[in-house]
């Protein structure tokens, strides 16, 4: 099912002024990127995308003011051909009677904001990308460790929530427990959040539900985080060898986005929370171009030359 938001939802979210077609605020928005008409105001091109919100800045409005009434109707008509769910005018532009009349005739909501085009379009696109992004729900826990979003997975009862609780006690932040909603924001980026019902809650066996904000304060929770690591908790395998200088990189895919994946084996007395902190720091250092294994090998090479 295609995700959508209504024009009315946009009006409420950004406190927009409705200038025309007030009875059409139920119209749905399904495209996540607003467009600023340029070519559309000059001529009509069949290959340009349809159903996008059209945002008019002071530049476009100034251009329309310079046209004759006949030319203006033609240029605004070009914009309408792309079936915008609404038209938004930024920078508190005035003198929009002709635009108001046209939008009422075509049943297209005309909205206005005092914000600048640059400021408003950035916020609008970010909001719509988040709301309209493809999403899935997975079983697991999401926690932000040192500013790095981590998915914590494993079979039921293995200790995901208990490990997350330990991390919260060390100053890190819960995002979601039990059900994690994953959203694809771009070909390289996925975002994790809660489903609303489990916001701020963590379930601990033998204890029950805890509200981490009530227990530990606002710093113990955040609404969403970009996912950078996928960590799976697994049972201890006594015959496995995991002391390589550098573990081979593995990945898991979520909505077509590859995320670095590691497994942590559980054993009584093992500091799993500490290992997760180490994994987060190690991921960050690798992103900065540093490898402890490479440095160690360089030291060995230097030693062998002595």
- Would you say 162 and 204 are in contact if contact means Cβ atoms under 8 Å apart? yes
Catalytic residue numbers?
139, 160, 178
Percent helix, strand and coil across the chain, each to the nearest 5: 35, 30, 35
Secondary structure (3-state) at 190: strand
CB atoms within 10 A of CB 255: 14
With vertex at residue 120, the alpha carbon angle to CA 115 and CA 126, rounded to the nearest 5 degrees, is: 155
Dist. CA 39–CA 71, nearest whole Å:
15
Dist. CA 37–CA 77, nearest whole Å:
12
End-to-end CA distance of the chain: 67
What are the backbone angles phi and psi of residue 300, rounded to the nearest 5°?
A: -65, -40
Q: What DSSP character marks residue 205?
A: T
Residues 6+ apart with CB under 8 A from 2: 30
CB atoms within 10 A of CB 131: 16
């Amino acid at each position: 099912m295609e995700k959508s938001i209504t024009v009315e939802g946009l009006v409420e979210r950004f406190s927009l002024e409705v200038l025309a077609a007030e009875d059409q605020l139920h119209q749905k928005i399904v495209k996540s990127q607003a467009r600023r008409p340029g070519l559309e105001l000059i001529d009509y091109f069949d290959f340009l995308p349809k159903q996008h919100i059209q945002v008019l800045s002071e530049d476009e409005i100034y251009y329309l003011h310079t046209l004759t009434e006949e030319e203006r109707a033609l240029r605004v008509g070009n914009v309408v051909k792309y079936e915008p769910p609404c038209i938004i005018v930024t920078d508190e532009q005035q003198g929009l009677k002709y635009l108001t009349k046209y939008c009422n005739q075509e049943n297209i909501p005309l909205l206005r904001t005092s914000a600048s085009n640059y400021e408003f379009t950035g916020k609008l696109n970010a909001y719509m990308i988040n709301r309209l992004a493809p999403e899935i729900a997975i079983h697991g826990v999401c926690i932000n460790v040192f500013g790095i979003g981590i998915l914590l997975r494993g079979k039921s009862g293995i200790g995901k929530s208990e490990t997350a609780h330990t991390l919260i006690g060390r100053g890190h932040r819960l995002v979601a427990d039990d059900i994690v909603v994953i959203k694809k924001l771009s070909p390289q980026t996925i975002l994790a959040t809660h489903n609303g019902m489990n916001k701020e809650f963590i379930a601990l066996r033998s204890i029950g539900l805890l509200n981490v904000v009530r227990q530990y304060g606002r710093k113990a929770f955040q609404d969403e985080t970009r996912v950078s690591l996928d960590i799976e908790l697994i049972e201890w395998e006594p015959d496995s060898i995991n002391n390589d200088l550098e573990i081979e990189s593995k990945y898991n895919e979520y909505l077509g986005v590859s995320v670095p994946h590691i497994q942590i084996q559980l054993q009584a007395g093992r500091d799993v929370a500490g290992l997760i902190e180490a994994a987060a720091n190690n991921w960050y250092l690798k992103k900065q171009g540093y490898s402890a294994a490479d440095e160690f090998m360089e030291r060995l090479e230097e030693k062998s030359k002595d």
